[in-house]
Amino acid sequence: MDRRKAVPGFVPCCLFLVLAVSAEVSERRHLYRKQSEVPLSCSEGFTELGYYNGSVSHTNSGSPCLKWTDFPDYMQQYPGRGLGDHSFCRNPDRETNPWCFFKQNSGAIGWAYCDCQNGAARLVGGSSGNSGRLEIYLNGKWGAVCDTHWTDRDASVICRQLGVSEIGTALQHSYFGPGSLFHYERLGCRGNENSLLECQSRKFVTSDCNHGNEAGVICAEPEGTRIPLRLVGGLEDFEGRIEVYHNGRWGTICDDQWDDTDAEVVCRQLGLGGVAKAWPWAHFGQGFGPILLDEVQCTGNELSLEECPHSNWEQHNCDHTEDAGVSCNSHTDGAVRLVGAESHQEGRVEIYYQGQWGSVCDDNWTELNAQVVCRQLGFRGRAEVAPDGVYEESHGLILLDEVQCQGTEASLLLCIHSEWGHHDCSHSEDVGVRCERDGDTKMIPSISPFTGPLVRLVAGESRKEGRVEVFINGQWGSVCDDGWNDVNAAVVCRQLGFIGAAKARSMAYFGEGRGPIHLDNVRCLGTEMYLGQCLTEGQDGHDCRHSEDAGVICDYTLDPVSDAAMAMQTCGLRLNNQRRRRRIIGGDKSLRGEWPWQVSLWLRSQSKGNHPLCGGSLINSCWVVTAAHCFKRFGRDPIRYTLRLGDYHTEEQDDFERTLSPDRIVIHRKYHSQGWEYDIALLRLKGTEGNCVAFNPHTGAVCLPEPGTKWEKRPAACVITGWGITDSEYSRTLLQAWVPLLPAWKCKKRYGDRFTSRMLCAGSLSEHHRVDSCQGDSGGPLVCQGEGGRWVLTGVISWGHGCGNPSFPGVYTRVSRFLQWIDKVINKPYKN
From 174, 304, 394, 778, active-site residue = 778
- Show the 3-state SS of 749-808: HHHHHHCCCCEEEECCCCCCCCCCHHHCCCCCEEEEECHHHCEEEEEEEEECCCCCCCCC
Q: From 468, 379, 374, 457, select the one nearest 412 (Cα to Cα).
A: 374
Check: CB of residue 427 under 8 Å from CB of residue 360.
no
From 183, 423, 611, 629, active-site residue = 629
Name the CA dihedral angle for 728, 730, 733, 738, rounded to a multiple of 10 degrees: 60
Give Cβ neighbours of residue 574 (< 8 Å, ≥ 6 apart). Answer: 593, 594, 595, 596, 700, 791
Alpha-carbon gap, residue 489 to 485, rounded angstroms: 6
Check: CB of residue 252 under 8 Å from CB of residue 281.
no
Contacts 24+ apart (CB under 8 A), 10-19: 10/70, 10/71, 10/72, 10/73, 10/74, 10/109, 16/108, 17/108, 17/109, 18/109
Q: From 755, 756, 757, select the one nearest 808 (Cα to Cα).
A: 755
In terms of DSSP bridges, do strands 131-138 and 121-125 run parallel, antiparallel, or are they unpaired? antiparallel
Mapped onto helix, strand or coil, the DSSP state of residue 539 is helix
Alpha-carbon gap, residue 426 to 401, rounded angstroms: 11
Backbone torsions φ then ψ of 547, nearest 5 degrees:
-70, -10
Sign of the four-CA dihedral 207, 236, 392, 321? positive
Alpha-carbon gap, residue 145 to 119, rounded angstroms: 12
Question: Is residue 778 flagged as an active site residue?
Answer: yes
Burial of 256 per CB tally in 10 Å (0-12, 13-18, 19+): middle
Alpha-carbon gap, residue 43 to 50, rounded angstroms: 11
DSSP state, residue 125: E
Q: For 165-318, where are the E strands, in sequence order? A: 168-171, 182-186, 203-204, 216-219, 229-233, 239-246, 249-253, 275-279, 291-293
Alpha-carbon gap, residue 144 to 158, rounded angstroms: 13
CA atoms within 13 A on the CB side of 137: 16
Contacts 24+ apart (CB under 8 A), 414-423: 415/369, 415/372, 420/353, 420/354, 421/358, 421/397, 423/361, 423/363, 423/398
Backbone torsions φ then ψ of 664, nearest 5 degrees:
-155, 145
Q: From 323, 311, 279, 303, select the one nearest 227 (Cα to Cα).
A: 303
Question: Is residue 588 flagged as an active site residue?
Answer: no
Sign of the four-CA dihedral 242, 247, 248, 249? negative
In terms of DSSP bridges, do strands 336-339 and 356-360 run parallel, antiparallel, or are they unpaired? unpaired
From 70, 115, 401, 679, active-site residue = 679
DSSP state, residue 208: -
Q: From 290, 392, 277, 261, select the one nearest 328 (Cα to Cα).
A: 277
Give Cβ neighbours of residue 750 (< 8 Å, ≥ 6 apart). Answer: 761, 807, 808, 809
Check: CB of residue 204 under 8 Å from CB of residue 184.
yes
Question: Is residue 629 flagged as an active site residue?
Answer: yes
Backbone torsions φ then ψ of 227, nearest 5 degrees:
-85, 135
Give Cβ neighbours of residue 432 (< 8 Å, ≥ 6 apart). Answer: 338, 340, 341, 346, 347, 348, 349, 385, 386, 390, 391
List active site positions. 629, 679, 778
